[in-house]
């Protein structure tokens, strides 16, 4: 069986690492061999957001490395579509495997569908019900095109059923939970990020901001950074790894130097996976507009405040581990002071989602 796996962004590297590991274990048993080749679109192309993930997690070196990380959504997706199609025509895989909801996901699905190559969508069925998000468009279209839809939660299965998609739908659990179990202890033993930043466990907050709905709107970012300034102190700073879009906002509005000089905010470059895991595990609180980081916060039992009005991971809110704050300063600070009852979530599986995916394939 020949599979071409298409990745392009940080969360996809992590998920692909777990499935690639499961493929290696499967092949070691001498059963029907799976030949996986990886196509990296270049959507995330700098060292800290791409190369270091492959190195740390032992992901096989990509067979193809594209350079499609710049331009508008349409330009990026179009460039990927052209190049992916060429590779699929030349190699004719049995399956194309895509992850999540990025432009790389949609381009891979479109190229495969037009060539009648079956599509496997890992992390299928998620919905924010906000079509202003490009990710929502990507995931809806990819699910419509896929032959096998591997869902991380039962709620994701219900979303697909409500849309009339039943064939090929499987609840397998979340490969990100597999990764949290696999790499959590490794991070504790190998990451030096706390000492490098001179911070202490449960005495800092971690913040990530990258979604265009925030970074492209000055009023939203102004209110978010006002909240960060008010909550950050020397004794409990806010650690903020700077996504390129967030850095672009700060430079565009001449805010970078003032934020760098703010005593309660620690700006750092994008992190390697293990360093990010370490910060997530030991933060007092996580503030984020990332879908994946919301879940990772729960996996490490760290309370989360989401800087959006909706989430694909409703179970994290219902269980008390996550709060939807949006972008307004007062609401973010109110959520920070809430005391919530929290319970465990039973939808993400037991850490063997990748093995289930390979078994079903």
Residues marked as catalytic: 210
Tokens 């950074």, residue located:
225
Q: Which two tokens stand for residue 168?
A: 């090929």
Please, are residues 268 and 262 in contact by the beta-carbon 8 Å criterion? no
State the DSSP code for 124.
T
State the DSSP code for 265.
E
Helices (H), the chain: 10-28, 51-57, 73-91, 103-114, 134-145, 154-162, 175-190, 193-197, 212-215, 218-231, 244-252, 256-260, 273-282, 291-299, 314-318, 329-337, 353-360
Please, are residues 209 and 203 in contact by the beta-carbon 8 Å criterion? no
Cα-based angle 210, 214, 219 (whole degrees, multiple of 5): 145
Q: Which two tokens stand for residue 14?
A: 């992590």
DSSP assignment of 84-108 equals HHHHHHHH--SEEEEETTSHHHHHH
- Provide the β-strand partners of residue 36: 3
Q: Which two tokens stand for residue 91?
A: 């190699």
End-to-end CA distance of the chain: 9
Q: How far apart are CA 189 and CA 277, in angstroms?
A: 12
CA 131 to chain centre: 19
Q: How far apart are CA 294 and CA 304, in angstroms?
A: 6
Q: How far apart are CA 25 and CA 94, in angstroms?
A: 20
207: left (phi over 0), alpha (psi -120 to 50) or beta: beta
């Amino acid at each position: 069986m020949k599979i071409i796996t298409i990745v392009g962004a940080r969360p996809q590297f992590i998920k692909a690492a777990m499935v690639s590991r499961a493929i290696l274990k499967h092949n070691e048993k001498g059963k029907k061999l799976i030949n996986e080749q990886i196509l990296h679109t270049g959507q995330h192309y700098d060292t800290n957001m791409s190369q270091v993930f492959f190195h740390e997690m032992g992901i096989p070196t990509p067979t193809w490395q594209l350079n499609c990380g710049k331009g508008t959504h349409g330009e990026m997706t179009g460039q990927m579509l052209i190049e992916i199609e060429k590779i699929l025509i030349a190699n004719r895989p049995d399956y194309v495997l895509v992850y999540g909801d990025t432009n790389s996901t949609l381009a891979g699905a479109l190229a495969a569908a037009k060539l009648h190559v079956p599509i496997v969508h890992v992390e299928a069925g998620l919905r924010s019900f906000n079509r202003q998000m490009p990710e929502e468009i990507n995931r809806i279209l990819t699910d419509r095109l896929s032959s096998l839809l591997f869902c991380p939660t039962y709620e994701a299965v219900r979303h697909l059923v409500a849309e009339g998609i039943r064939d090929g739908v499987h609840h397998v659990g979340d490969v990100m939970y597999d990764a949290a179990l696999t790499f959590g202890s490794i991070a504790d033993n190998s990451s030096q990020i706390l000492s490098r930043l001179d911070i202490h466990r449960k005495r800092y907050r971690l913040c990530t901001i990258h979604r265009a709905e925030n970074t492209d709107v000055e009023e939203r970012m102004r209110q978010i950074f006002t909240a960060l300034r008010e909550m950050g102190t020397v004794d409990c700073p806010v650690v903020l790894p700077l996504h390129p879009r967030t850095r672009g906002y700060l430079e565009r509005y001449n805010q970078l130097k003032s934020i760098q000089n703010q005593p309660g905010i620690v700006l750092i470059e994008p992190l390697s996976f293990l360093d990010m895991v370490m910060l997530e595990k030991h933060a007092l609180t996580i503030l984020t507009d990332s879908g994946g980081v919301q879940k990772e916060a729960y996996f490490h039992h760290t309370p989360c405040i989401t800087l959006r009005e909706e989430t694909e991971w409703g179970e994290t809110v219902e269980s008390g581990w996550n709060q939807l704050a949006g972008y307004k300063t007062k609401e973010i600070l109110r959520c920070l002071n809430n005391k919530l009852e929290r319970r465990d979530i039973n939808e993400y599986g037991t850490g063997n989602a990748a093995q289930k995916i390979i078994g079903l394939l």
